[in-house]
């Protein structure tokens, strides 16, 4: 398979960076190129990097304009065949994780992706986060591939694009949806846990959910404008309320009651327009 570049970006997350560096430099796979991009941290992160610089192939500590500006700096510095982003706080599951993954990367797919493990605070235990073997537009509406579990062929960032720096949170999601759903890049689920997911990242913060949604809308308007109405329908079909309706439909009496109540409500609403105004053959 050859060289694999692992890229870590960091800004004032010294303790998370410490965990990630230890995890990466502790990998048994011999041909890892390790790159650390620090955004000019003031919490001692730069000094921590300096203490490990004999095991880091390239690093810088300078101001950047955001997450994806930093990730793009890492991409430009990388020389590996495949790139994986293991940002501050993320850790490989085991010391031989990259070695295990590399043995499963036997063909020439554009993207290989594995699974994650995360700590469920409500249940107070670790759980696997398993991704599907087949990806589709429907999957990407509410989900994405994990950057800390995906090996991306470096050449894709040349043939498709670098990360969109106009987006603050959802640019890696945009890259995956464009690569797979538009450019038809080949992919393969290798079915092993790659890393422990750190839920303290900005995309997991409920305060940023609205921003994520607005950035996804920008991408849909840009690349899938002809499908936007279908997108809204798909979101509706995936809602908890609609799933409840499908569940009720299994029970004849409950279904009749629901239909009766629905018909009663329709008496008080404007009539629906069921006409189809499209071209008729």
pLDDT of residue 227: 65
Q: Check pLDDT > 70 for residue 78.
A: yes
Question: What is Dmax (Cα atoms) for the chain?
Answer: 75
| DSSP-derived 3-state class of residue 91 | strand
At 62, is the pLDDT very low, low, confident or very high (cuts 50, 70, 90)?
Answer: very high
pLDDT of residue 199: 58
pLDDT of residue 201: 54
Q: Is 138 left (phi over 0), alpha (psi -120 to 50) or beta?
A: alpha
pLDDT in tens, 201-251: 555 556 778 898 899 989 988 888 776 666 666 666 666 777 788 888 888
| DSSP-derived 3-state class of residue 252 | helix
**Closest C-alpha among 111, 93, 81, 107 to residue 3:** 81
Average pLDDT, the chain: 88
Among positive and negative, which fits the CA dihedral 175, 179, 180, 183? positive
Element (H, E) at 218: helix 209-223
pLDDT in tens, 3-22: 999 999 999 999 999 999 99
Rounded to the nearest 10°, the torsion over CA 122, 127, 132, 135 is 50
Q: Check pLDDT > 50 for residue 267.
A: yes
Name the percent of the chain lying above pLDDT 70. 88
Contacts of 72 (CB under 8 A, 6+ apart): 162, 163, 165
Mean pLDDT in residue range 135-163: 93
């Amino acid at each position: 398979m050859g060289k694999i570049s692992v890229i870590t970006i960091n800004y004032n997350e010294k303790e998370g960076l410490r965990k990630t560096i230890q995890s990466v430099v502790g990998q048994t796979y011999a041909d890892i190129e390790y790159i650390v991009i620090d955004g000019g941290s003031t919490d001692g992160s730069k000094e921590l990097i300096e203490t490990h610089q004999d095991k880091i192939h390239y690093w810088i500590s300078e101001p950047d304009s955001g997450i994806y500006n930093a990730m793009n700096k890492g991409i430009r510095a990388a020389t590996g065949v495949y790139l994986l982003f293991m940002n501050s706080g993320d850790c490989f599951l085991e010391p031989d994780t990259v070695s295990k993954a590399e043995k499963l990367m036997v063909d020439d797919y554009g993207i290989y992706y594995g699974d994650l493990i995360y700590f469920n605070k409500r249940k107070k235990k670790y759980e696997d986060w398993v991704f599907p073997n087949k990806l589709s537009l429907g999957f990407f509406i509410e989900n994405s591939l994990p950057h800390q579990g995906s090996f991306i062929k470096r050449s894709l960032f040349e043939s498709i694009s670098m990360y969109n720096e106009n987006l603050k949170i959802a640019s890696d999601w945009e890259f995956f949806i464009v690569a797979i759903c538009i450019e038809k890049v080949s992919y393969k689920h290798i079915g092993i846990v790659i890393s422990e997911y750190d839920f303290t990242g900005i995309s997991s913060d409920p305060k940023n959910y609205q921003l994520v949604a607005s950035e996804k809308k920008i991408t849909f308007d840009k690349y899938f404008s002809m499908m936007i109405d279908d997108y809204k329908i798909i979101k509706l079909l995936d809602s908890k309320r609609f799933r409840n309706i499908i569940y009720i439909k299994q029970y004849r009496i409950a279904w009749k009651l629901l239909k009766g109540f629905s018909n009663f409500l329709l008496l008080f609403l404007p009539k629906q327009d069921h006409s189809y105004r499209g071209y008729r053959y």
